[in-house]
Amino acid sequence: MEVTLLQNSSLEITAHAIRTCWQSFDKSDHGGERDLELIDRVGNKFKHASTLEHLSYTFYIQGISRALLQELARHRIASLSVKSSRYTLKELKEEKAFDKEDFARAEKYLVLTANDLVNSMSIQALENLRVVLQKGVSNDMAKYCLPESYKTELTWTINARSLQNFLHLRSDKAALWEIRDLAKNIYHTLPKNHQYLFSIKED
């Protein structure tokens, strides 16, 4: 998988939102240490986390499975724009047949796991989908054959409050392995001066 940070709002905006409550603009150091401490104190320690919603991030996430996409959909305070299966399944149509052990070629389309049997069955499902497409079935109908391991990509925008929740839940060892990898990738993609607002559970 690949995670790219496309944009983020400024910590100074979040500090401004907090200072709005007390009209303490004269104490701002415009995104300096005083403002950073204020954001952490009010947003995290005092739990006025609504102020963190003024801070947002947009990521381009590539090479994740549709199984992971389903997990992402549970984080509702976020916006997702996902690669469309209606328009993009033609990429598979011209491929030659896949053998169940053809891991290297199938990896272009599938997220492979640590289990070879699961991978072989996913490749079999990929071949079934390829055959259906070659028989002229429309993408809208053929996508019902998509395996959960089929790769997709999306642009994902989330505010800091929701991202804290996401990273806390999804870096936990009980989370799906793939979404744990995503959580860690996202955290390490954040600007260094923003990371102090978040935490992840490392292995």
DSSP state of 28: -
Does the active-site annotation cover 74?
Answer: no
CA atoms lying within 13 Å on the CB side of residue 69: 21
Among 19, 130, 170, 180, the active-site one is 170
DSSP one-letter code for 155: E
Q: What are 49's two structure tokens? A: 């986390």
Cα–Cα dist 46/26, whole Å: 22
CB–CB of 188/59 below 8 Å?
Answer: no
Q: What is the identity of the amino acid at 202?
A: E
- Report the catalytic residues: 170
